[in-house]
Each structure stands twice: as C-alpha cells, then as structure tokens.
Structure 1
Amino acid sequence: MDKRLYEIDLYRFVASVMVLVFHYTFVGYMLGYAPDIRFDSIGEYSRYFYLGINFFFIISGFVILMSAKDGEPDKFFVSRFIRLYPAYWIGVLLTGSCILYFNQSQFQASGAELAANATMFQAAIGIKHIESAYWTLWIEMQFYLVMFALAWFGWLRFILPLIGVSLAACTVSLFTSWGQEFDLWTNAFPHWWGYFATGCLLYLIHRDGLSLLKSFMLVLALVFVVCQNWLFTSMMEGWYGTAFNEFIILGLNLFFLSLMLFSALANQHPLRKARFVAWGALTYPLYLIHQNIGYMLFNAYGQHINKYLMLFAAASLMLVSAYAIHRFVERPLAPWLKKHLTAWLHRRKSGEGPAKRALES
C-alpha cells in the first residue's frame, strides 16, 4: 500500500482557498453575481487564483490513479461514490435552500433543475448547475468513468502510453478548430484532460521512479500546461475585459508542478505531516458550497457590513460549514455506505438478487 503523501492534503486545501478567494474578490463583481462589493486591490492578485482549479485536476489524476491501480473496479466505484455523493447532496440541499430563501434574480432554479442537480449528471442532459462551481464535478466525473473503464477491462497496465497519447492529443487539439469547438465547461477534452494525465504521470513517477521516458513525458506535460494556459488566458481576457500576465500564470504553474514533482520523488518531506489530513477533508465540502451561497450572502448583507469584514465572515462561515458537513455527514455515512454498497455489488456478482431469492423460496 502506498504511503500517504500528507502534503498533498495541504495542497488541496490551499487550492480550494485560492478558488474561494478568486470567486469572492474577483468573479463576483466582474461578472455581476455580487456586483455591489468590489475588491479591486485584492483582485489585482486574486484573479490568478483560478489556477486552483488546474491544480485540483492534477491532484485528482495523482490520487485517482493511486485508488484505481489495483484494477478492482468494484472497490473503485464504492470509494468514489462514498467520496462524492453524501457531501454533494448536502451541497445541493443547502444551495437550493438559499436560492429559495434569498430569491435573488441572479440565482433561480426550478424543482426539476434541483432534482436533476442531485444526480451530478445535469450537464450531460443539458440542465444548468444550481451552483456555478459544479461544472468541474462533471469534468471530474468523465475522468472517473474513464478510469473505471480502464480498471474494468484490465487496461491500467497500459496507463503510461495512454498518458503520453493523452498529453500529445490535448496539446495538438488546443490549436485546431475542431478541438476548440468542444465546450470546455462540459468536456474534459482537450482543455482539462491533460491536467489529469499530468497527475497520473506524477503518480507513476512516485511509484516507479523517474526514467528517461517519464522525463520526456514530463516535458510534454509542461508543454501542454503552457499551451493550455496561454490559450485560456486569452479567453479570460475576453470574458473579464481585463489583462492577465501570462508570465505570472506560467510561474505559478511551474511552482506547483515543482511541488508535486518533489512530493513524488521525496522519501521524506518537511510538509508530510498527518495533521494535514484534517485540512484536506474540508476541501471538497468547501468547494461544493462556497460560490453561489457566498454571492447571495454578499448581495443580502454586504451593503450593511464593511466589505472586508463581510469577506472574512463569508469565508469563515463556509469553512465552518465544510467542517460540519465532513464531521456530521461524510464521516458517519462512509462506513455505512461502504458496507451496504459492497454487499449490494457482491450480491449482483454472485447472482443473489431478488429474482434468484424468490425462485429459491
């Protein structure tokens, strides 16, 4: 069994806080979700914190390949379901409740949209997300489904060449007309798939060491990251009507990739501390609930409270809520769900479903 790299829990937490600050201090007023509270001085820097999303995808590639490496699709399915859905259902419930309570024009949802969002597959059937941040969950889900299929068919042994093909295909596709026609908010390929592939490559370097082939592929991963960020930056400048410094973006990406490569290669690490597990546990519920609920709070109370105090209060409330979701939902439900999902899958595999039991009786 792989020794846990506790510093990655810290990286995940920092990435989630980056995304929260990006949304609260830049996106909210720039895109009109919370237009009355501006953080121009902070936004000069926090506009680059969107990179937390890219870093999430790299970390997902690393940890998901670690989870799927044993080639047991049943275990992979159970672990992903337990990890994704309990906190997600609470997130949908909280966001839906706030939409109904605050009744703000920017945030509306029908009963059908709320129900569809509970599946996490709403993007696949063309239904809007009730929480803006949910778009990344559908991107992640596509990666999980591919990894499940590879585990199911026993093709994980081909993962290294598949990583190489993915990185090359994503990089080339970014500069083709057909590649750019894919909606990057609903399709993992080509904008996001290369980040997952980069994370998978870093895991293989951690597991097996750095070889000449992996070194070449690491350079290919870097080429993808540079190309994707260069293209995405030009897109963001159009969306937000403001300039982004490509070299700051490149520097932050290089810094994060260096951190991950050091973690992959180091037998010991100064940040490999078990206490960071608790930090990492807050990441997913924090991401699920922070964005639209935060905007609604800003719109409802921001005119009556100092904007910096409002920012601190909203961020603190999201962190406390994330802890509550983890402590009182995820942790109690995980063993129960694992037990019953594993038993259900075992019955299906052994043919002991309701029909067989009825015949035997």
Structure 2
Amino acid sequence: MTQTQSGDTAGAGAPGPSPDAQAEAVAPSVPASRASPSSVEGRAPGSTSRGHGRLPALDGLRFLAALAVVCFHFVGQAPHTMAWIWGRPYQEVFPQAHGYFAFGRLGVELFFLISGFVICMSAWGRSPRDFFVSRVTRLYPMYWAAIAVSTAVLYTVDTPFGRPDPRILFANLTMLQKPLGVDDLDSVYWTLWPELCFYLTFAVVVWKGLTYQRVVIFCGLWTVAAALAPGADIPLLTLMTNPTSAPYFIAGMAFYLMHRYRPTPLLWGIVAMSWLLALHFLLTPDGGRVDWSEWSPWRGWLVLVITVFFALIAAIALGWTHRIRWRGLTVAGTLTFPLYLLHDIVGVSVVHRLSGRADPWVVVGATAGALVLLAYLVQRFVERPVARAARRWLSSAEFSLRTPLPKRR
C-alpha cells in the first residue's frame, strides 16, 4: 500500500460491535418471582434485572461515530495525507474545518465503548456455541465482502493506494494480520484486532456462564492486565490486552451492568478507573493512541471529548434515552459496519479522482452519500443473506472434539 500512516491516523475508527448485535439480545429477563437460583446468582444486591431489548440511541451513536470517522478521513487527516488525497495542502482545501474534523478520529473510542456494552448484552444467556456462531456470522461475512470490494477497486482502478502483495490479501482474509505481522489491506482494519481479542477473551466468561459477579471480575482482571502490560515488556500480553483500547470495552461492560441491574459504587468505580486509564493512554507522549508529531490539539479538548463519550453511554445505561424510539436509528445502525469498512479505499479513491473538478465540500458530501448507499446495498443484498446462510449452517453443524465414527465401507 502506498499510503503510510501511523498511530491514530492509520484509519482511526472501528466497526464496533456488529451492526445487528443488539437484535440478538431481545430475550426478556426472568421475573424475580419466578427466577431460578442460577438466574438470581448474577444479580447485584438489591437490584432488579431489567429487559434488554434493542436500544435505538446506541444505533444512532454508532452511526454518528462512523460518519465522524468518514469525515476525518476526507477532511481532517494529517497534513501530508491531506495533500496526498487532494493534491494540494489542506490550507487551500479546508483551511478552517480541518482542525475540527481532525477530532473525528476519536470515533474509535466511542465505537469501543458501545462494543463493550452491546457485546455483553448480546452474549447474556447464550451458550459458548451460540456466542461463537453469533460473532462469526456477524463479523466475517461483511468483512470478506468489504475485502472483495476493496480488492476489486485496488486491482481494476488506478487508485493512489497502489496494488498490494497477494500475501497481504490472504493474511487479511483471516482477520489475524496483526499477530501475523502483516500490513492491513485497508488501514481501517487495524481496529478489528482489539475487537477480536475482546470476543476471544470474553468467550471464557460466556463459557463459564455470564453473571454479574463474573463480568465484574473479568473487568477487574482485564484492567489490571492492561495497566501492567506497557511496563511488563511482554509483547504477547500487550498484543492480547490491547491497553489503549481496553478501558473503553471495560467501561462499556460496566455500563451494561448498570443498565441490566442498577448503578452501584463498584460499577461507578470501574467506569472511573477506565476513564482515567483511557485518558492516560490517549495523552501519553509516545506509545499511545495519538501520534503527536502529526496531530497536537489542546489536551483539554481531548479530555472533554472522551468525557462526553462516557457521559453519553452513561445516559443510555441509566435509562435517560428510553424515549428515543425512532426506527430510522436502527436502520442507520445496520449500516455502520459496512460504511466503516468500505469508506477508506473506495471513498478516498473517489475523492482523489474528483479533487479539483468540483467544490471540495460537494465532493465530500456526494462521496459520503454514495458510500451510505453502497453500505445499504452491500448490507441488504450481500451481508444479510450470507450471514443468515452461515448461521443456519454453523447452527446445524456439530462442534465436538470427539473422534468421529469411521466411514462405513
């Protein structure tokens, strides 16, 4: 790939939980009067378990985060990248707006917060097999579709990205390019590894059975591991704990426990610790989320933006947004993952070709609108049917380590 970006400019954004994850978490809670001992085990003292159907406010936030990342890539990237995309300095293209849209890269933090909340919600009451099928069928079909579209663009159109080595393509199809030490086919894919690590480690708790106590313990252990990893100089620990991303996932899970049961001092403590660690890793001079040589805003704005993100998820967890029921938000939520995966190579290539031929804002607006339409078409006619077929196939398959019976001759 000819585009080289580091740190937060390497496609600052994330898919967050798969678009329809909330739709999987619609089973009503067991009424307290008829709850079995096992169902009562996970409750916080004095709490009452609440229903956990789909939350349109989360869908709306996820879509806004995706749009923020899109606008960041078109308008707010590092000066040398902007010059590479538009063919001229950003001062000539977006002299005032560039500084504001640069904050769009922080959409990744909001994605991770939402992911912790929604994945915990969608996994509750599921077996390990159900959780595995759910994650695989929600993540890989759209990811592979996006790779197919991006590869077609890279190999058939004269783009500024160049043509990648086929080895990169094969490694990226596994979604394990990070541990394999292979470049991302698309710079935005870097956020998939923290998501995948979250799924893999959280699957252990799902295997044991989700309860209030077990999720709290998981949050505590992950917090300690993420805090120790940078100083431990153990690459595998850092690779698996993802210290710069972990606080957002952890806070998201704590917020879901508040939503499912009630807020407690313990849960607020987990959120407060996560907020502090998130700001630490965001503001650290080196080895954190931000490449200060390319973007160096006033630190107070970064603290404010992250705090607002935490406050928004807190409002949802505490039920302050329960009146928000607009169905359009749910539809928008389903477009977030395809929009995120498709916007970089496809969108930047379009912007690059149209640069200088029309007003820059017209180019950005038309390209973003076209990408939303493309995301809808891919989600509706590719991802959804493929995921449905994959779900049926995996649900009917036998997952067993026992040696199968020999063939009859």
TM-score for the superposition, normalised by structure 2: 0.78
Equivalent residue of 1:275, what SS?
Answer: helix
Q: Secondary structure at the match of 1:40?
A: coil
Is contact 1:26–1:43 with CA below 8 Å preserved after alignment?
yes
> Which amino acid counterpart does residue 287 of structure 1 have in structure 2?
Y
Tell me: CA distance 1:247–1:267, structure 2 relative to 1, closer, same or farther (3 Å).
closer
Task: Evaluate the alpha carbon distance shift between residue 187 and residue 48 of structure 1 in structure 2; reply closer, same or farther with a 3 A threshold.
Answer: farther
Structure 2 letter corresponding to 1:161? I
The equivalent of 2:70 in structure 1 is 20
- Equivalent residue letter for 2:399: R
SS in 2 for 1:348: coil
| 1:159 match | 215
Q: How does 1:210-359 map to 2 (within 5 A)?
A: 210-231=263-284, 236=290, 238-240=292-294, 242-266=295-319, 269-344=322-397, 347-349=398-400, 355-356=404-405, 358-359=407-408
Q: Quick check: which one's helix share is greater?
A: 1
Cα distance in 2 between the residues matched to 1:198 and 1:350: 35
- In structure 2, the partner of 1:53 is 108
Separation in structure 2 between the aligned mates of residue 65 and residue 129 of structure 1, nearest angstrom: 28
Cα distance in 2 between the residues matched to 1:177 and 1:149 = 24
Q: Does 1:130 align with 2:185?
A: yes
1: distance between equivalents of 2:375 and 2:140? 14
In structure 2, list runs of 5 or more residues that go unmatched: 1-26, 28-51
Residue identity in the other structure for 1:34: I
Provide the rounded CA distance (Å) in 2 between the counterparts of 1:155 and 1:13. 28
296-305 or 207-216: which moved more?
Answer: 296-305
Aligned position for 1:92: 147
Q: Work out whether residues 76 and 104 of structure 2, in 8 Å CA contact, stay in contact via their aligned partners in 1.
A: no
| Conserved 8 A contact 2:143-2:341 | yes
Partner AA of 2:284 in structure 1: L
| Superposed CA offset, 1:238-297 (max 9, x none) | 341x43121112112222211111111117623243331101000000000101222222
* Rounded Cα–Cα distance in structure 2 between residues aligned with 1:273 and 1:357: 55
Which sits farther off after the overlay, 32-41 or 67-76? 32-41
Mean CA deviation greater in 122-131 or 46-55: 122-131
Kindly provide the amino acid, as one letter, of the partner of residue 214 in structure 1: L
Relative to structure 1, the CA distance from residue 7 to residue 303 in structure 2 (aligned partners, 3 Å threshold; closer, same or farther) is same
Could you say what secondary structure the match of 2:85 adopts?
A: coil
Cα distance change, pair 182–33 in 1 and its aligned pair in 2 (3 A): farther
Structure-1 residue corresponding to 2:54 = 4
* CA distance in 1: counterparts of 2:321 and 2:141, whole angstroms: 34
Give aligned pairs, total: 352
2:244 is paired with a residue whose SS is: coil
Q: Shift of residue 205 of structure 1?
A: 1.0
The alignment's TM-score, normalised by the length of structure 1, stands at: 0.88
Please say if residues 18 and 50 of structure 1, whose CA atoms lie closer than 8 Å, have aligned partners that are also in contact: yes
Indicate if the aligned counterparts of 1:33 and 1:106 stay in contact, CA closer than 8 A.
no
**Offset at residue 89 of structure 1 (A):** 1.1
Q: CA deviation at 1:158?
A: 1.9
What amino acid maps onto 1:64 in structure 2?
I
Give the whole-Å Cα distance in 2 for the aligned partners of 1:214 and 1:292: 40
Whole-Å Cα distance in 1 between the matches of residues 225 and 169 of structure 2? 36
Counterpart residue number, 2:85: 34
The residue matched to 2:121 in structure 1 has which SS?
helix
AA partner of residue 69 (structure 2)? V
> What is the 5 A alignment of 1:70-85?
70-85=125-140
1:106-130: CA deviation from partner (whole Å, max 9, x where unpaired) = 4331222222222211222122111
The structure-2 alpha-carbon separation of the partners of 1:268 and 1:301, relative to structure 1 and needing over 3 Å to count, comes to closer
Q: Deviations over 1:74-101 (max 9, x none)?
A: 1111111111111111110111111112
Output the CA distance in 2 between the equivalents of 1:74 and 1:310.
46
* 1:90-129 aligned within 5 A: 90-104=145-159, 106-129=161-184
* RMSD (Å), alpha carbons: 2.7
Gaps of 5+ in 1: none
> Match for 1:262: what amino acid?
A
Relative distance call for 1:112 and 1:306 in structure 2 (3 A) is same
In structure 1, what is the equivalent of residue 226 of structure 2?
A: 170
CA distance in 1, matches of 2:337, 2:289: 27
Whether the aligned pair in 2 keeps the contact of 1:168 and 1:220 (CA below 8 Å) is no
Give the distance between the partners of 2:113 and 2:284, measured in 1 at CA.
Answer: 18
Query: Percent of aligned positions with the same letter in both sequences?
Result: 26
The CA deviation string for residues 210-251 of structure 1, in whole angstroms up to 9 with x for no partner, is 1121122222122122212222798635341x4312111211
- Superposed structure 1 runs of 4+ greater than 6 Å apart: 181-184, 232-235
